[in-house]
Structure 1
């Protein structure tokens, strides 16, 4: 006959394993949430930069100050902030930031009329596309 006062050595170990599993799942869930938030902040900054650049390019004729003021209003409407705005003729070049702390994203966007792309430093000028004769 077994002694009722003796208990098996592993009694209660399932509780410890459950607590450990829940802790690991909470950690994984927290990492997934942080990564998701970083992606949302990046997309918000990209959308704000694109729209702000388009708004500034659309108002280039009113002067750089008014074009950049319009870009700032559009960026703020997208829950972002305008960091930099430069007008070169009809082309706008803006940088927009979104988020705070470690989840800050800054995105640069350019907008202007269609045409050949001006050469960047260290890069040869772009060639116009070849035109094929009609048959």
Structure 2
């Protein structure tokens, strides 16, 4: 009977360690998901702003306007290309050791380029 003394403590510590490891993994995945959504939102907004600048709805150079809006959303424009009335913007969002990249296109529907 004396050999079993403390066995439950070892099992409890092992279970607690597994729960903590799982929690850390879930927090990492959730953090990456939030960054990905933030990057997608910033890319969409930046592409729309660039397309507005192309159409003359707002003043400014399309890529400059896109960069300004991306920085307001916590992102940095990686690429900005203009093809006729459409804008294609790629942004990156940095969050600690993680980063997320997203691309968005805005312009009139059906533009073949």
TM-score scaled by length of structure 2: 0.88
Q: Distance in 1 between matches of 2:101 and 2:9?
A: 46
Q: Determine which of 14, 17, 20 is the counterpart of 2:11.
A: 17
- The correspondence of residues 1-135 of structure 1 with structure 2, limited to 5 A, is 8-61=2-55, 66-100=61-95, 103-114=98-109, 116-118=110-112
| Alignment RMSD (CA, Å) | 1.8
More helix per residue: 2
The SS at the match of 1:79 is: coil
The SS at the match of 1:104 is: strand
- The runs of at least 4 consecutive aligned structure 1 residues that moved more than 6 Å come to none
Q: Distance in 1 between matches of 2:106 and 2:24?
A: 38
Contact 2:35/2:95, CA 8 A, preserved across alignment: no
TM-score scaled by length of structure 1: 0.75
More strand per residue: 2
Q: Deviations over 1:62-118 (max 9, x none)?
A: 6xx71111100111111111101111121101101112565221111110123x242
Gaps of 5+ in 2: none
Gaps of 5+ in 1: 1-6, 120-135
| Structure with higher RCO (Cα < 8 A, 6+ apart) | 2
Alignment size in residue pairs = 110
